[in-house]
Amino acid sequence: MSNYMVNLKINNIPVSVPEGSTIVQAANKLNFRIPTLCFHPDLSVAGNCRVCVVEITGARALAAACAMPVAEGMEVFTNSAKVRTARKHVIELLLSEHNADCTKCFKNGHCELQELAAEYRVGDHVFLDLVKASDKILDISSPSIQKDNSKCIRCQRCVRTCEELQAVGALAVACKGDHQRITTFMDKSLHNVVCTNCGQCINRCPTGALVERNYMEEVWDHINNPFKHVVVQTAPAVRIGLGEDLGLEPGHRVTGKLVSALKHIGFDSVLDTDFTADLTIMEEGTELLTRLKKAIVDKDETVTLPMTTSCSPGWIKFIEHTFPELLPNVSTCKSPQQMFGALAKTYYAQKKGLDPKNIVSVSIMPCTAKKFEANRPEMRASGYQDVDYVLTTRELAMMIKQAGIEFTKLDDMHYDSIMGEGTGAAVIFGATGGVMEAALRTAYEIVTGREVPFNNLNITPVRGMEGVREATITITGTRPEWSFLEGVEMKVAVAHGLVNAKELMTAVRDQKASYHFIEVMACPGGCLGGGGQPIPTSADIREKRAQAIYAEDEGLPIRKSHENPEVVQIYKDFLGEPLGHRSHALLHTHYKPRKRY
Amino acid sequence: MSKTETLVRALVDKHGKSRNSLMPVLQGVVKEERYLSEEAMLEVARELDISAADVFGTASFYTFLDTVPRGSYVIRVCKTIACHMAGKDVVIDALSDMLKIKVGETTVDGKFTLLTANCLGWCHKGPVMLVNDEVFPQITAQKAVEIVEEYARKK
Amino acid sequence: MEHKTIKKVDIIFAKDTCNPRELLSKTLQRNPDDIILDIIDSGLKGRGGAGFPTGLKWKFTRNEVSEDKYVICNADEGEPGTFKDREILDQVPEKVFVGMAVCGYVIGAREGYIYLRGEYNFLLRSLNAKLETFNALMKELKFDFHISIRSGSGAYICGEESALFESMEGKRGEPRNKPPYPTRAGYNHKPTAINNVETLVYTTMITRLGPTEFKALGTQDSRGSKVFSVSGDTPIAGIYELELGMPLADFVDSFGDGDTKAVQVGGASGHCVPRKQFRDTIIGFEGIPTGGSMMIFNSSRSMYNVLHDYLEFFTEESCGQCTPCRVGCQQLLKGIEAVKRGERKPDYLEELKKLADTMKVAAKCGLGQSVANPFNSIVNNFREEIIY
Ligand SMILES: Cc1cc2nc3c(=O)[nH]c(=O)nc-3n(C[C@H](O)[C@H](O)[C@H](O)COP(=O)(O)O)c2cc1C
Ligand code: SF4
Ligand code: SF4
Ligand code: SF4
Ligand code: SF4
Ligand code: FES
Ligand code: FES
């Protein structure tokens, strides 16, 4: 944005803003909030809902404040009679094509349309009801996402999200006029198209048109069933996001309260996905080193490098559709959620003397794609569905409210054991670059016997919010068995948001870039910005969550995965060694090419 | 390679592999195949590196880029005001009777589709209809039937 | 108000008044700024409906610094009741080409496009043949400018300039936010001069004849003549070039069938003028501007049907992106149906008029903004016909 300042008046109050600012931005500076619906800070400006219209002296028509740049001497009125009439009309019109059954709606209380309707005291009875019966048929084909056209206000935020942030393009606007609608290729169900289930569209949908498939009732039923042993695991990013849905500011860490709330709700055992995140590092780190050894020492041509991470199921489905030829590059490690699931009904069951068929395995995730992942046919290594129910951070917040728990007043509690221990390396899985950092902390030490040469273990080059980040680490002073890596410059790359992943992997495919190891997270910011996290989201909010994650890491006594005592123990008691026979059966998986077109 | 694939590739070669070519490519497919099949749209999406949904969404915006099967001859009778006043209803009824289909339908032999259209730009000579790209102004019910009979005699 | 009596003019369709070789050779000798001054001096305003001064449009585009600039001829003519651009392209296409080439020379563009509505595809063969000759001529004259045709595919909104650019870029024809305007960011987001077919022919003729002859016609605010598409209840439907600034009454005297009850000026998106206002209505930018459509209704016509047709048209042809237009059109259409059927009281029409007023100021583009023109003018003047 330019340094040149523009002077204008809003509601007769003078204000100066940089050239190129919009009227919305100028008004914000004066603490006037102009209502918006199609606008989202992460997306390009559409200017289609028209709820933000304002009056500009001298102009015949009103202007969309989200799109209109300021000009010198401009006089803007945000609440004139003309503006208020138009704004109310726009809201009434939206409601007239909207199935406003708020009391039954998943978004009740979290809906931007509902909020506006309440603010302006308008209902859906002014104009004729235009809701089409056919629009009331829900698309629940996907285990992750529910699409309800009767609640769609055509703001196109989802379409822009899927295209601009995710480069997937599963959603598009079709037809025109009264037939215009948001849909998929040939109106197919979401499950049958290229959708990755990432849920980023949900995070930006202002209404209940796109929400997660929710499984709260099912989980409550199991909790209330005395014959079931319900274990729950919580992903790293949940502990830094959950508070936002329960009255706290973004960036609040609530790990202890989270555990406490889950116990209050009645889960039989409250465990941590961090445990299997650490385990992932052991397996994936070993896999990487093995691939490197085969490539460098054995000159094995069949080995594929770079190796990419595999813990983001949105990323997995994306690569299956978009770059099926690169599937051999993907680590065979399951995601921490699925490793946990497989172990819960084997290792955990054994240790606790439980019949796995009576275990109900629930996970709390910042992610909607994990709901799909849990349902993949490959994910039944224990002989049962490894993870039975996946709830989003948002669903958990709702359950906490349903349970009448005063969250902010809870005392902190500790995770149960076994499989409840996690390190700082596991926590940072929740931020983009975190898996890379955790892997480097461990791999470097395995190879050299020394800690990574970064101040306080913080590998800052792989941190941050740049879409694609690269780093090079020169390996020196190797242990004898790793001497083939002496002097090797380890080249790594990190991408988050599938649009960036696509760019990076296109370069890899076209051999325009060479790396050893790549981390990809489907969601902007990594899991902390996942499709199951509290709404709203913005760069600012994601930044605060990232800070919380790194603070959590620094506050933990153990910050390297290979030092997690429970991890050491499980290899001793159960798994043998990384990539060993049992690991293979329980912790690794394979992928299937899917069609993009 | 299927016929459709060959067609799409030829069109992409002709117009260029960029988004700006999308309209001419889709128009080319419709000219040959009368509508955009799923296969055709997928092929266009692949060739131009656009998402399939986007191709469908864009095509469906345009009245002439049909995404449902159409007959060899697509009849579009103007239904807008001047032609309305000049008697488009009797023309449509006559064609509908003759072809035994309603507006929006295609004859079983796949030869004719009967559609209506918005103003075709011949308001001083309504009613008017298009058969594919050919225009027929100042028609009557009888003339319309004769014109269509003429097409029916073509192979 | 200044007004003229009805006068037929013969500038546009006059044969043998345009020798492309001669005109272009002459043009290429001139300073572009002088040409712009002539066009500004002539007072020519765009004939596509919005009436923006053409000379200024060229000047703004010329002033932009850009490697790529474009000239676009808007031949998407889709306004119900308008058919003059088809006739111009059929009769005197060279005059259109010359106008584009002059514009290209003036603004510094190397590419020109004619966006021809898909409904006029039957013109393609002959237009392309003539273009080939014309493009060869420009090559011969060592003028680096090339014109080609892009077809539409049946979407009225693509006549709106920014929707037209989107369409040419292979997207849905959804109008863009403005600013930026086309002179800065048009096709491919490069500076673009987009002009109506008829406008371009006038620029050709002004280049040939100088501004004086053109300026002598019309009124202060509406210089020159204009091609009118006359249809409806008239014994002499067709295309007429008339001097601007005539009172509607004179027009009706010449073209009506003796029983005229209303004239829709400017197509579906224009105004409906009832008999009692014929005298006081001037056809021109100071009165009722028009893209040239004059549709005449006699007393046998139901104005409910007329309005219903228009609203159906807008409901279908709205691009659908913005709330006031997408939903507003449907509400107006279903609203008058509900009133007609007695499901809503007649005073619901007042609610609908307020809604139309909101559409006028809050819709994103000219389509939604102009629905209030026919709606309010018909409802105000023919309220009984709408209700009963
Ligand atoms: C809905 C809508 C449809 C339009 N259709 C046309 C059209 O078919 N032809 C045209 O020349 N201008 C049309 N316009 C006006 C164009 O946006 C633009 O103003 C015009 O092409 C500029 O050329 P001019 O200055 O020569 O009139 C339309 C505008 C709107 C809002
Ligand atoms: S989407 Fe919002 S306004 Fe609509 S029913 Fe749900 S809560 Fe209510
Ligand atoms: S879940 Fe992700 S991939 Fe699927 S439609 Fe939404 S944004 Fe697109
Ligand atoms: S689904 Fe949601 S985000 Fe998408 S257009 Fe509808 S309301 Fe907007
Ligand atoms: S006014 Fe109508 S045509 Fe124009 S942008 Fe809005 S919906 Fe589209
Ligand atoms: S928020 Fe400005 S138009 Fe939607
Ligand atoms: S109304 Fe039928 S051609 Fe114009």
Looking at the domain assignment, is residue C276 inside a domain? Answer: no
Ligand 1 atom at minimum distance from C75 CA:
9
**Per residue in A135-177, pLDDT tens?**
999 999 999 999 999 999 999 999 999 999 999 999 999 999 9
Give the distance (Å) from ligand 3 centre to CA of residue A242: 22
Q: Is the CB of A37 under 6 A from ligand 6?
A: yes
The dihedral formed by the CA atoms of A553, A556, A557 and A563, expressed in degrees to the nearest 10? -60
- The distance from CA B31 to its chain's CA centroid, rounded to whole angstroms, is 8
Counting atoms of ligand 1 from 1, which one is nearest the CA of C50? 19
Which residue ranges have their beta carbon within 6 Å of ligand 4?
A 152-158, 182, 205-207, 209-210
Q: Which residues of C touch A74 (CB under 8 A)?
A: none
Whether residue C182 sits in one domain with residue C331: no
Q: Is the CB of C77 under 6 A from ligand 1?
A: yes
Coil/strand/helix, residue B107: coil
Q: Is residue C176 part of a domain?
A: yes
Does ligand 6 come within 6 angstroms of the Cβ of A49?
yes
Of the pLDDT bands very low, low, confident and very high (cuts 50, 70, 90), residue C246 is very high
Q: Which residues of A touch C173 (CB under 8 A)?
A: 176
**pLDDT-derived band at C30, boundaries 50, 70, 90:** very high
Distance of CA A135 to the CA centre of its chain: 28
**Domain spans of chain A, in order of start:** 5-79, 126-212, 216-275+338-409, 281-333+424-534+549-595
- What is the reported pLDDT for C6? 87
Is any ligand 1 atom within 6 A of the Cβ of residue C114?
Answer: no
Domain assignment present for residue C284? The answer is no
Q: State the average pLDDT over residues C287-297.
A: 91
* Total domains in the fold of chain C: 2
Residue C51 resides in a domain = yes
Instruction: Please return the burial class of A50, using the count of CB atoms within 10 Å of its CB with bins 0-12, 13-18 and 19+.
Output: buried
**Is the minimum CB–CB distance between C303 and chain B shorter than 8 Å?**
no
**Which residue among A158, A159, A211, A535 is best mutated to probe the pocket of ligand 4, counting the most ligand atoms within 8 A of its Cβ?**
A158
A371 Cα to the center of ligand 4, angstroms = 21
Kindly provide the ipTM of the predicted complex, given to two decimals: 0.97
- Left if phi > 0, otherwise alpha if psi is -120 to 50, otherwise beta: which for A67? alpha
| Cβ < 6 A, ligand 5 pocket | C 157, 175, 318-322, 325-326, 363-365, 367-368
Q: How many CB atoms lie within 10 A of CB A286?
A: 19
Q: How far is CA A353 from CA A224, A268, C196, in A?
A: 21, 14, 82
CA distance B97 to chain C (A): 24
Ramachandran region, residue C296 (left: φ > 0; alpha: ψ -120 to 50; beta: rest): beta
% of residues, chain A, pLDDT over 70: 100
- Over 80: is that where the pLDDT of A125 sits? no
Name which residue sits closest to atom 8 of ligand 3, judged by CA: A162
Given a cut of 80, whether residue A91 has pLDDT beyond it is yes
- A523 tagged catalytic: no
Position A534 pLDDT exceeds 90:
yes
* Chain A residues with CB-CB distance to B37 below 8 A: none
Mean pLDDT over C10-16 rounds to: 91
Catalytic residue list contains A228: no
> Counting ligands in written order, which one lies closest to the CA of residue C174?
5
Of residues A35, A148, A32, A31, the one with CA closest to residue A91: A35
Give, in order, the Cα–Cα distances in Å from A430 to each of A240, A246, A338: 9, 20, 16
Task: Please report which confidence band the pLDDT of residue C49 belongs to, taking 50, 70 and 90 as the band edges.
Answer: confident
Active-site option among A527, A552, A560, A583: A527
Q: What is the mean pLDDT of chain A?
A: 97
Chosen from B11, B14, B23 to mutate, greatest number of chain C CBs within 10 A: B23
Residue C108 Ramachandran class (φ > 0 left, ψ -120 to 50 alpha, else beta): left
Which region, left, alpha or beta, applies to residue A73 given φ > 0 means left and ψ of -120 to 50 means alpha?
Answer: left
Cross-chain Cβ contact B60/A175 below 8 Å: yes
CA of B108 to the centre of ligand 7 (A): 29
Ligand 7 neighbourhood includes B116 CB (under 6 angstroms): no
Q: Specify whether the CB–CB gap between B58 and C171 falls below 8 A.
A: yes
* Nearest neighbour of C177 by CB, restricted to A45, A61, A89: A45
CB-count exposure of residue B153 (10 Å: 0-12, 13-18, 19+)? exposed
Domain covering A5-79 assigned CATH 3.10.20.740 in the classification = yes
Instruction: Indicate if A437 belongs to the active site.
Output: no
What is the three-class DSSP state of A360?
Answer: strand
Inter-residue contact C229 to C293 (CB < 8 Å): yes
At A28, phi and psi to the nearest 5?
A: -55, -35
- The C-alpha of C128 sits at a distance from chain A's nearest C-alpha, in angstroms, of 30
> Which of left, alpha, beta for A449 (phi over 0: left; psi -120 to 50: alpha)?
left
Query: What number of CA atoms fall less than 13 Å from residue A388's CA on the CB side?
Result: 23
Q: Which chains touch C (3 or more CB pairs under 8 A)?
A: A, B
Q: At what angle do helices C20-29 and C124-140 cross, to 10 degrees?
A: 40
CA of A124 to the centre of ligand 2 (A): 11
pLDDT score of C87 = 97
Query: Is residue C286 in some structural domain?
Result: no
Quick one: C45 and C151 in the same domain? yes
Q: Which residues 6+ apart lie within 8 Å of C141 measured at CB?
A: C21, C24, C25, C28
Phi, psi of A219 (to 5 degrees): -65, -45
Residues 5-44 on B with a CB inside 8 Å of A are 38, 41-43
Interhelix angle C32-42/C197-209, rounded to 10 degrees, is: 110
How far apart are the C-alpha atoms of B153 and C45, rounded to whole Å? 50
In tens digits, chain B (155 residues) has pLDDT values of 899 999 999 999 999 999 999 999 999 999 999 999 999 999 999 999 999 999 999 999 999 999 999 999 999 999 999 999 999 999 999 999 999 999 999 999 999 999 999 999 999 999 999 999 999 999 999 999 999 999 999 86
String of b and e for C117-126 (b: at least 16 CB within 10 Å)? bbbbbebeee
CB A232 within 8 A of CB A270: yes
Residues C210 and C337 in one domain: no
CA dihedral (A292, A294, A298, A303) positive or negative = negative
C113 lies in a domain? yes
Superfamily of the domain at A281-333+424-534+549-595 = Fe-only Hydrogenase (Larger Subunit); Chain L, domain 3 (3.40.950.10)
In this structure, the answer to whether residues C312 and C209 fall within a common structural domain is: no
Q: How far apart are CA C280 and CA C74, in angstroms?
A: 32
Cα separations in angstroms, B106 against A57, B66, B144? 55, 13, 17
User: Among this protein's residues, is A201 annotated catalytic?
Assistant: no
Residue A538 bears catalytic tag: no
In a domain, C328, yes or no: yes
Domain-embedded: residue C242? no
Catalytic one among A287, A395, A519, A566?
A: A287
Residue pair A327/A319 in contact by the 8 Å Cβ criterion: yes
Atom of ligand 2 nearest to the CA of A101: 5
Centre of ligand 2 to C-alpha A205, Å, is: 11
Domain boundary among C165, C188, C215: C215
- Counting from 1 in the atom list of ligand 3, the atom nearest the Cα of A161 is 7
Residues 6+ apart with CB under 8 A from A479: A447, A448, A449
H helix intervals, A270-415: 273-296, 313-322, 336-343, 349-352, 369-374, 393-402
Is position A503 annotated as part of the catalytic site? no
Architecture of domain A216-275+338-409: 3-Layer(aba) Sandwich (3.40)
Average pLDDT over residues A210-237: 98
On whether both C185 and C312 belong to a single domain, the answer is no
Query: Would you list the domain boundaries of chain B?
Result: 3-61, 73-153
Together in a domain, C38 and C168: yes
Using a CB–CB cutoff of 8 Å, tell me whether B53 touches chain C: no
Q: Which residues form the domain of C374?
A: 303-387
What is the rounded CA–CA span in Å between residue B20 and residue B10?
A: 16
Q: How far is the CA of A78 from the centre of ligand 5 (A)?
A: 22
The answer to whether residues A332 and A588 touch, using CB atoms and an 8 Å cutoff, is yes
pLDDT, residue C2, reads: 64
Q: Is A325 a catalytic residue?
A: no
Report how far ligand 5's centroid is from the alpha carbon of A194 (Å).
Answer: 30
CB-based contacts of C166, cutoff 8 Å, min separation 6: C172, C173, C174, C175, C176
Query: Does the pLDDT of residue C96 top 90, yes or no?
Result: yes
Based on the residue annotation, tell me whether A331 is a catalytic residue of this protein. Answer: yes
Do residue B135 and residue C122 have CB atoms under 8 angstroms apart? yes
A67 — pLDDT class (breaks 50, 70, 90): very high
Q: Is C233 in the pocket of ligand 1 (CB under 6 A)?
A: no
Query: Domain A126-212 - what CATH class?
Result: alpha beta
Q: Do B134 and C172 touch (CB under 8 A)?
A: no
Give tens-digit pLDDT for C329-366.
Answer: 999 999 999 999 999 999 999 999 999 999 999 999 99
3-state SS record for A209-221: CEEECCCHHHHHH
- Please check the confidence at residue A2 and state whether its pLDDT lies above 80: no
Residue A550: C-alpha distances to residues A236, A274, A364, A428, A438 (Å): 11, 14, 20, 7, 12
Backbone conformation region of residue C260, classed left if phi is above 0, alpha if psi is from -120 to 50, else beta:
beta
Shared domain for C211 and C317, answered yes or no, is: no
Which of ligand 2's atoms lies nearest the C-alpha of A104?
Answer: 5
Establish whether residue A153 lines the binding site of ligand 6, counting it when its CB lies within 6 angstroms of any ligand atom: no
Residue C328 forms contact with A (CB below 8 Å): yes
Residue A76's pLDDT is 98
Q: What is the pLDDT of residues A248-307, one digit of tens each?
A: 999 999 999 999 999 999 999 999 999 999 999 999 999 999 999 999 999 999 999 999
pLDDT above 80 for A1: no
The topology (CATH level 3) of B73-153 is Glutaredoxin (3.40.30)
Residue A499: pLDDT over 80: yes
